[in-house]
Structure 1
Amino acid sequence: MKAAKSGTKDGLEKTKIAVMRKVTFLHRKEAPGDSEEEDTGFLEVTVSDMKHPPPELGPMPAGLSPQQVVRRHILGSIVQSERSYVDSLKRILQDYRNPLMEMEPKVLSARKCQVVFFRLKEILQCHSMFQIALASRVAEWDSAEKIGDLFVASFSKSMVLDVYSDYVNNFTTAMSLIKKACLTKPAFLDFLKKRQMASADRVTLYGLMVKPIQRFPQFILLLQDMLKNTPKGHADRLSLQLALTELEMLAEKLNEQKRVADQVAEIQQLCKSISDRSSLNKLLSSGQRQLLLCETLTETVYGDRGQLIKSKERKVFLLNDMLVCANINFKYVPALLGQLEISSLGLRLHGGTSLNSRFPQNLNMTVAQDWCLALQRMMKVKEEEIHSANKCRLRLLLPGKPDKSGRPISVMVVFITPSPLSKISWVNRLHLAKIGLREENQPGWLCPDEDKKSKAPFWCPILSCHMSAFSSKALDLQLGAAVHNPVQSSLLGFSAISTSLPQGYLWVSKTSPKTG
């Protein structure tokens, strides 16, 4: 606001509107490399080490309790790790980004530099401000002993989620670009090697850039240790619990947004790879289809006697309401999940042999017994092979074309998964996807966004069934319960069904006692 007052009248009005709409200066949804000038929507604040020195914990006073000593050591770990983290962010910008942007001739274009180092300046800004507040809190630690409220104030803002989400979602693209540049541009590879050798710890660029992804899990571990050593009734205990809740929710949202971004990229890649793009794009764009699972499976065809006739690798995509089976050259065959059935998973032996109980009189009984034992061993080996194969065999019943009389015909398709765990994952996700298509699992609530648009929540519970829990004849009310999967799951990434006792939602609905 102060900067706008010193500028033009138009700038002041725009700033007032932004403040009224609660739009932060860091809240900018521009993709990396969209413009030549980077960070045009970012209000940069210069933090001087002379004016704001890094936090430093003084000598330990005498007379502290054992818990106070432990809390002080944990605070020292927080201070040390945060200082190391901020130094790593500065190294990325000063030792890598800035020289690459200024280098002539350029080994990496300005646009690619923006993609590689996307949002790092904003992340450094967030933690520079946090470090200033942390220094003030450390200076008064021995009198106040409070740190939880500082984490709540610093990392509960939406701009922190925005910049970290953009960085995490862009990380795979940035690493792929660096890898490709190392293979195609020897000068870039030589630059990275020289920078690594010049550093004291010899940490690679990847080792530095992965630290923002690891930062919040580190914070959570440190605060968990601090909470364990904070007695009940302490002034910092409630603040620490709130801080842990905020950080865990932030980490969960980052993971969820990363999964959403990966799934969108997978579907986009699927659209580009399939030859008939127009029809598939129409197929995938209708509704809110999301990718749940994608894996290369082996389709097998068996004869009447159970013998393997042929096998072929397929790329199988499980969407929330559709199963797409594609060749390696991406010719696809879709199947709606509502008509899909998972048959009994097992292999049935067709035919068989029986031994005549009467042996020729001139046959040695000892030799016959050896033959029988050998045959039994062979049958046991075959049974074990069949049992092992069934652990990776997935049989799906797909709807086929109706016959001449109009009766529906089902087609059996058998896939071999890479491992037994993969088969379990496919079975569970297929079942949960079908449950998610039921009417009671279609989310009827939306969360309004800042731009007055509506978006679906991050996850919704999966209601598997509902049952009558209590009925009162005196009141015209019935108490019901809905059983759901206790694992937080959504249409974007189903979890395996828990075998423990499910939790339940309770509600009161007006129904007639006779119908209860």
Structure 2
Amino acid sequence: MYGEYVKNFDRAMDMVNTCMQRSSPFKDVVQNIQKQEVCGNLTLQHHMLEPVQRIPRYELLLKDYLKKLPEESPDRKDAEKSLELISTAANHSNAAIRKMEKMHKLLEVYERLGGEEDIVNPANELIKEGHIQKLSAKNGTAQDRYLFLFNSMVLYCVPKLRLIGQKFSVREKMDIGGLQVIQATIEKHKQNSETFRAFNSSFSQEEEHLPDSSIASTSSVESMPGADSGAFGG
């Protein structure tokens, strides 16, 4: 029960604040109650926060109490049992808070992706995100890209231009099951790019000396469906 209260605390607080702003009768009732002596001149929100703060306070007090309590004290056994119960409740509340924070992060990413990917799932966990630079294989220019690393997949995204807030479009979704991370250098990438350009240049020069029939044959293959996707094993 305590874990559920902590997990839903932020939503309950937002609801109270919204009702206070939108409903004058509700606001008047709450303010009249808050003026009563039993409330101690504290707001409703303050009283709602008390249960969330109380368990961690009890845990700290009991730990401090046990440090100063003699080993032979008759209260020690009960104090240790109390600390065990309080710590269990605190762990449950912390787990509920962490779970809620994870869901909030997933919702934020979902909105930034424009609802393109269904990632809001308790099994998903956002581990890391950040900008990367993709070097073009054609001319070596740097292009902005963005990665979202989850516990089960990587989303390779392209930034979208927006006036308010950064949005992304998912270019590739990769399962991390078979992925490997290797360390590469810009120099190595440039070497690969130069080799690729040299190969293209050499192929173009050879093509200029091919008979017309060979050029026609090559062009017809390139224009066939599936040629770009490697359907011919190239």
Please give the range of the TM-score, normalised by the shorter of the 2 chains.
0.5 to 0.7
Q: What are the Cα deviations for residues 79-137 of structure 1, in whole angstroms up to 9, with x where unaligned?
A: xxxxxxxxxxxxxxxxxxxxxxxxxxxxxxxxxxxxxxxxxxxxxxxxxxxxxxxxxxx
Choose between structure 1 and 2 for higher RCO, CA contacts under 8 A separated by at least 6 residues: 2
In structure 2, relative to structure 1, the CA distance for the partners of 1:186 and 1:232 (3 Å cut) is same
Aligned equivalents of 1:349 and 1:336: distance in 2? 26
Equivalence map 1:355-370=2 (5 Å): none
In structure 2, relative to structure 1, the CA distance for the partners of 1:271 and 1:237 (3 Å cut) is same
Counterpart pick for 1:311 among 121, 127, 144 = 144
Residue 293 (structure 1) aligns with? 127
| Structure 1 position 171, deviation (Å) | 0.7
SS in 2 for 1:233: coil
Q: Confirm or deny: 8 A CA contact 1:301 1:311 kept in the other structure.
A: yes
The one-letter code sitting in structure 1 at the alignment partner of 2:12 is A
Aligned equivalents of 1:183 and 1:194: distance in 2? 16
| Structure 1 position 164, deviation (Å) | 0.3
In structure 2, relative to structure 1, the CA distance for the partners of 1:235 and 1:198 (3 Å cut) is closer
Residue 82 (structure 2) aligns with? 243
Q: Confirm or deny: 8 A CA contact 2:126 2:151 kept in the other structure.
A: yes
Q: Confirm or deny: 8 A CA contact 2:2 2:89 kept in the other structure.
A: no
**Number of residue equivalences:** 185
| Structure 1 position 179, deviation (Å) | 3.1
Residue 179 (structure 1) aligns with? 17
Aligned equivalents of 1:347 and 1:205: distance in 2? 59
- Over the residues paired in the alignment, what is the CA RMSD in angstroms? 4.3
Aligned equivalents of 2:128 and 2:153: distance in 1? 12
Gaps in structure 2 of 5+ consecutive residues: 160-165, 191-228
Q: What are the Cα deviations for residues 178-237 of structure 1, in whole angstroms up to 9, with x where unaligned?
A: 233344345545555555556675423222211111111111112122212221222222
- Is 2:59 the counterpart of 1:225? no
| Structure 1 position 167, deviation (Å) | 0.5
Counterpart pick for 1:320 among 126, 151, 155 = 151
Q: Confirm or deny: 8 A CA contact 1:275 1:330 kept in the other structure.
A: no
Equivalence map 1:250-261=2 (5 Å): 250-261=89-100
Residue 43 (structure 2) aligns with? 204
Aligned equivalents of 2:128 and 2:44: distance in 1? 31
Equivalence map 1:18-417=2 (5 Å): 163-189=1-27, 191-193=29-31, 195-196=33-34, 201-264=40-103, 267=106, 274-276=114-116, 280=118, 289-293=123-127, 295=129, 297-302=130-135, 309-311=142-144, 314=146, 316=148, 318-325=149-156, 329=167, 331-332=169-170, 333-344=172-183
In structure 2, relative to structure 1, the CA distance for the partners of 1:178 and 1:234 (3 Å cut) is same
TM-score normalised per structure 2? 0.57
Q: Confirm or deny: 8 A CA contact 1:274 1:329 kept in the other structure.
A: yes
What percent of counterpart residues are identical? 22
| Structure 1 position 256, deviation (Å) | 1.5
Residue 215 (structure 2) aligns with? none
In structure 2, relative to structure 1, the CA distance for the partners of 1:186 and 1:253 (3 Å cut) is same
In structure 2, relative to structure 1, the CA distance for the partners of 1:350 and 1:342 (3 Å cut) is closer
TM-score normalised per structure 1? 0.29
SS in 1 for 2:66: helix
SS in 1 for 2:8: helix
Q: What are the Cα deviations for residues 368-394 of structure 1, in whole angstroms up to 9, with x where unaligned?
A: xxxxxxxxxxxxxxxxxxxxxxxxxxx
> Relative to total residues, which structure has the larger helix share, 1 or 2?
2
Q: Confirm or deny: 8 A CA contact 1:298 1:311 kept in the other structure.
A: yes
Residue 496 (structure 1) aligns with? none
Q: Confirm or deny: 8 A CA contact 1:275 1:331 kept in the other structure.
A: no
Aligned equivalents of 1:294 and 1:175: distance in 2? 29
Q: Confirm or deny: 8 A CA contact 1:323 1:336 kept in the other structure.
A: yes
Q: What are the Cα deviations for residues 283-323 of structure 1, in whole angstroms up to 9, with x where unaligned?
A: x77xx83214365x33434468x9974436x572x332212
Q: Confirm or deny: 8 A CA contact 1:323 1:337 kept in the other structure.
A: yes
The one-letter code sitting in structure 2 at the alignment partner of 1:322 is M
Aligned equivalents of 1:311 and 1:186: distance in 2? 49
Aligned equivalents of 1:341 and 1:236: distance in 2? 56
Aligned equivalents of 1:276 and 1:340: distance in 2? 23
Gaps in structure 1 of 5+ consecutive residues: 1-162, 352-401, 408-516
